[in-house]
Structure 1
């Protein structure tokens, strides 16, 4: 939802429609959930937790940051809580869209494999780097990532640089 549309919605009724927000930003929220959970049922559970968190947090959004930045922050916070809860249940400690391949099935399989490899590698990153990478892949600027994660832009740039080096190492330098 654009800032103007959000402002108009607030002026009209004072409340943003959760359904409209989830419809517009749902794919981004699903990708964030997917960056934390590989197993489909757990990923769906996390996405549901994120949706509930968005529903609860949306009235608190005052427009200080872009709506998608606010939503990404809510999603990442919920995902961190989810991971911590999962790790505690397992007795572990918590560590800190691609182009359409067209109609060529071989190319489609190759692109899908690269996407799956990248997502698996992103899940292996330390939490702070993972958060920054996921938002960068969503097209967030350094400033927006910093706003979403409550970090300085320099810290975001540093995390992205370290993550990029690690991903390139893990993926064999394949344009990560």
Structure 2
């Protein structure tokens, strides 16, 4: 049984890491939830699952990789659990990063961004997860580890998604 001091230290370490990597929560929640209340619920559920899994966390692995894996699994399950939830997406391709980062003040950029959102909304949950990680500029090895697929599969899927975006947009 853990002492109160040990338990407090665990909570503090977890809280510090969660705060440092909270952007992951926001990214995942924004990609898998459209409504603000759904995003808040999803972020809370991810945080709860992370806390439950915390005792099994292996410090030999990077926290962000471990966090992404759990967050994406929770988000995919969360989306399946309520058919009423609608999801919104973020842009994908390198040349389109500028559009997403831009103020979208001009009409054309806003239209391109909306087309990307529609495209990404149509993707399967695994492809959405892949897009989040790709946009976060995670190395292919880490993406493979998080998603439980090979690096070659990551590379192939990213290439196919980029080509589909070029063809459809």
| Cα shift readout 1:95-150 (whole Å, capped 9, x = no counterpart) | xx85364xxx835x766665554344322212221111111111111100011111
Rounded to whole Å, the distance in 1 between the matches of 2:114 and 2:47 is 24
Other-structure match for 1:86: 82
Other-structure match for 2:101: 99
- Size of the aligned set, in residue pairs, is 149
Stretch moving more, 70-79 or 129-138? 129-138
Rounded to whole Å, the distance in 2 between the matches of 1:27 and 1:133 is 15
Q: Structure 2: where are the runs of 5+ without partners?
A: 1-8, 86-96
* Aligned partner of 1:38 among 34, 47, 50: 34
Other-structure match for 1:164: 162
Other-structure match for 1:150: 148
Which TM-score applies when normalising by structure 1?
0.71
| Cα shift readout 1:61-109 (whole Å, capped 9, x = no counterpart) | 113421101000000110111122123x89xxxxxx85364xxx835x7
Other-structure match for 1:94: none
Other-structure match for 1:135: 133
With a CA cutoff of 8 Å and minimum separation of 6, indicate the structure with the bigger relative contact order.
2
Rounded to whole Å, the distance in 1 between the matches of 2:162 and 2:149 is 18
CA RMSD of aligned residues (A): 2.7
User: Runs of 4+ in structure 1 displaced over 4 angstroms?
Assistant: 13-16, 109-117
Which TM-score applies when normalising by structure 2?
0.74
Give the direction of change, closer, same or farther, for the CA distance of 1:31–1:17 in structure 2 (3 Å limit): same
Give the direction of change, closer, same or farther, for the CA distance of 1:152–1:112 in structure 2 (3 Å limit): same
> Any idea what SS the aligned residue of 1:125 has?
coil
Q: Structure 1: where are the runs of 5+ without partners?
A: 1-12, 91-96
Per the TM alignment, residue 16 of structure 1 is displaced from its structure 2 partner at its CA by 6.0
